[in-house]
A and B are shown apart, each in its own frame.
Chain A
């Protein structure tokens, strides 16, 4: 039985049992999307607000579809069209939305801790859909679920996370979730993208790709955000691809059944060679499918939750 939580703010707050409970729940929800009628009446009459104050297509559409498959009503508000551009503060925006009595507010925000702020002031369940450089808990859960479905376990697996670790909330939620379930996590990237002290989250760090990849059961590649080029964290796409991109030759150093993952959208030829992205070891589309199941499980859980 999963402990009831009203909000989902970060994986760092969840116990191993909480995480496994949510993964089991998500596994069950997966079946709904494979039926003729892909909808259950569970959240009929509930309202889910997707407040996305930072660009997002896949996470937002995944949350929206998850809510719809549970029969909840959805209201989508995104950065460009919101009154935030007119100078309204986050809390004021949220208070105005709360006046409609939504049951759940899903928040994507550029600042770490924004969902925590809402949780303190707003009378609705808050689900973190990515806050600044902090966490992206549903991404962490869907990655765990996808690995578990393919490997039947998490414990004892060697997982390499390669990319801009410093600017990645996906990496942070990944490290926290994977290490809590007993995986051995190695993070890898150019030294400018490896934050000092990252080991405290429960991982090793190395700037050498081949060392990270050696004998890996899973390799999670991260999107290189090209806007970081301006910050001169790496010299060029080409050099990044050569030293940190996952190509067929680098993949050979991992275990033969090593899984390749990416949170999307992929920069083909930069962090991921097209032959690897489309190869038999890639489970990128399973991640997308599982994202829906995980978000259904999270909405179901938060809608039924009492105490924070």
Chain B
């Protein structure tokens, strides 16, 4: 197996800004009641994405939905499969989950296993009215019957490629790249 190299850029900063703005408007449009809306970012990069959506929703509608931070490590189905013990970060949901219209926010939707874990984690905090899923990139290859309600970009990828999302807040720049093994076209 070669090392991972960038194959193509899928999004630059401008494209990302526009995609997130569109996601914010779609979330507003589909929200039954903005007062009950809450955004829950899946650590790590779902959290800054949720904060950007929060700011855009506040700018457009004058209502700032609360943002929660979800760490799904303890709900993963492969938590002990790796060579190292996964770090566990706190989950912070600073609002009542009961009766909320929750939008889970993640950077990439791939197999769906992270989303499955995130759903279980949210349910342990209460019974939301409904849960919807917003992702910046849907790259296909689902292993579970899950879909995203709000998608920034649908990307055609092969199973062995990887999608790397970089955000200003965590990585110093906004861009999305498709990466693959060197020499494994």
Q: Which residues of A pack against B, CB within 8 Å?
A: 1-2, 4, 24-25, 27-32, 35-37, 39-42, 70, 300-301, 303-306
Contacts and interface: CB of A to CB of B under 8 A. Distances in A.
Given A40-B75, A42-B79, A35 B125 contact: yes
A35 B124 contact: yes
B79 A28 contact: no
24 contacts: A2-B84, A2-B85, A4-B83, A4-B84, A4-B85, A25-B87, A25-B88, A28-B87, A28-B88, A28-B89, A29-B88, A30-B90, A31-B90, A32-B74, A35-B124, A35-B125, A36-B125, A41-B75, A70-B74, A300-B85, A303-B80, A304-B79, A304-B85, A306-B83
Given A40-B75, A301-B85, 13 more contacts: A4-B84, A24-B87, A25-B85, A30-B90, A36-B125, A39-B124, A40-B124, A41-B74, A42-B74, A42-B75, A300-B74, A300-B85, A304-B85
Nearest to A2: B85
B12 interface: no
Interface string B157-183: 000000000000000000000000000
Nearest to B89: A28
A40 B74 contact: yes
Contacts of A301: 85
Nearest to B85: A304
A304 B76 CA distance: 13
Contacts of B75: 40-42
Interface string B86-109: 111111100000000000000000
Contacts of A300: 74, 85, 88
A193 to B, nearest CB: 39
Contacts of B90: 27-28, 30-31
A28 B124 contact: no
Interface SS, B side: loop
A212 B75 CA distance: 46
A1 B89 CA distance: 12
Interface residues on B, range: 10 to 19
B138 interface: no
A27 B71 CA distance: 13
A2 B87 CA distance: 8
A304 B120 contact: no
Interface string B63-81: 0000000010011000110
A152 B99 CA distance: 37
Contacts of B83: 4, 306
A94 B123 CA distance: 39
B84 to A, nearest CB: 5
Nearest to A302: B85
B65 to A, nearest CB: 21
Contacts of B84: 1-2, 4
A251 B110 CA distance: 59
B52 to A, nearest CB: 25
Nearest to B121: A40
Interface string B124-158: 11100000000000000000000000000000000
Nearest to A42: B74
Contacts of B91: 31
Contacts of A27: 90
A37 B93 CA distance: 13
Nearest to B120: A41
A27 to B, nearest CB: 7
B121 to A, nearest CB: 8
A68 to B, nearest CB: 14
Nearest to B79: A42
A164 B28 CA distance: 65
Given A2-B85, A31-B91, A40-B75, A304 B124 contact: no
B126 to A, nearest CB: 6
Nearest to B88: A28
Contacts of B71: 28
Contacts of A305: 85
B128 to A, nearest CB: 12
A32 to B, nearest CB: 8
B124 to A, nearest CB: 4
Identify the interface centre among B80, B88, B90, B126: most chain A CB within 10 Å of its CB: B88
Identify the interface centre among A1, A4, A40, A70: most chain B CB within 10 Å of its CB: A40
